[in-house]
Amino acid sequence: MFPLNLKELKEWIILLASAVIIALLLRSFVIEPRHVPTPSMVPTIQVGDRLYIEKVTTRFGTLKRGMIITFQAEEQTGQPEHLVKRLIGMGGDTVEIRDRQLYVNDQAVDEPYLAEPMNSDFPKTVVPEGKYFVMGDNRNFSLDSRSWGFVEAADVKGQALFIYYPFSEMGSLWNQSMNFLN
């Protein structure tokens, strides 16, 4: 090893402190990793997948039906951790499941990402302004807005961006949108 002089030591400390501050700012305001502990989003996201969540869209952009979002809804769900679900309905939308088919605003939705056809109906419901209706892709085994109600817009923390681990599942989840059947 070679000895560091005081000037070099100060430079290293400033460099390391700057890196830590930048990493904390990025994690707080731009992007952060998440672990998925439940099967509610199978087959799109598997149990144990690790993904990056981007936080910019929820602050400055516009959410769209079909996006995969994370939110904290402890009051509704009783769970303190962030949940990951698909955004189905926004304020003013009507949501209904009839004959195993999802309808948003009376239009049938094409959902090729579902694990299997839904096995129950859900009555036509209007999503209040400032709230969202969310559902897991594993509809028959997902606790979601059908069980505990709407998600407050202020509780949405980010949009799923990318699965980064395991490598076999790596792929983009960015900016998905909902397709309606004709």
Which residues form the catalytic set?
A: 40, 85
For β-strands 156-165 and 50-54, DSSP reports them as antiparallel
The closest of 79, 93, 99 to 144, measured between CA atoms, is: 79
Distances (CA, A) of 86 to 10, 100, 132: 48, 17, 10
The closest of 60, 47, 45 to 173, measured between CA atoms, is: 45
